[in-house]
């Protein structure tokens, strides 16, 4: 299991945009991001809510289980890259 998690909703347009950014990041930076759909999967929703702990309150939600850093909503590539690089440094 990857320590980089991406919680998303299947029909969420913001999540679709961030999926493109996440894929780009994986290819360019060689990181692995585990995806967890939450609108149709109650187990994933429980995990998301526990990790979110009221910080974001929705998707897209990126969480690093090692550093406990998170990114809420849509963000630029560079912000997600910095989040992933922080993760890689702590691995």
Give the CATH number for residue 56: 3.40.30.10
How much is the pLDDT for 66? 87
pLDDT, tens digit (0-9, with 9 covering 90-100), for 15-68:
999 999 999 999 999 999 999 999 999 999 999 999 999 899 999 999 999 889
Is-cis flag, bond preceding 15, omega within 30?
no
b (16+ CB within 10 A) / e for 18-35: bbebbeebeeeeebebee
* Gyration radius of the chain's alpha carbons: 12
User: Sheet containing 61-64: which strands, arranged edge to edge?
Assistant: 34-37, 4-8, 61-64, 70-72
Two structure tokens written together for 78: 């560079």
Q: How far is CA 16 from the centre of its chain?
A: 12
Number of domains within the chain: 1
Q: Which domain holds residue 55?
A: 4-90
The pTM for the full model equals 0.90
């Amino acid at each position: 299991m990857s320590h980089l998690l991406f919680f998303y909703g299947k029909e969420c347009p913001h999540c679709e945009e961030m999926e493109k950014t996440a894929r780009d990041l994986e290819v360019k930076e060689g990181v692995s991001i585990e995806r967890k759909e939450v609108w149709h999967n109650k187990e994933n929703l429980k995990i998301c809510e526990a990790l979110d702990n009221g910080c974001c309150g929705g998707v897209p939600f990126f969480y690093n289980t090692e550093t406990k850093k998170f990114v809420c909503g849509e963000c630029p590539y560079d912000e997600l890259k910095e989040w992933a690089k922080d993760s890689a440094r702590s691995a």
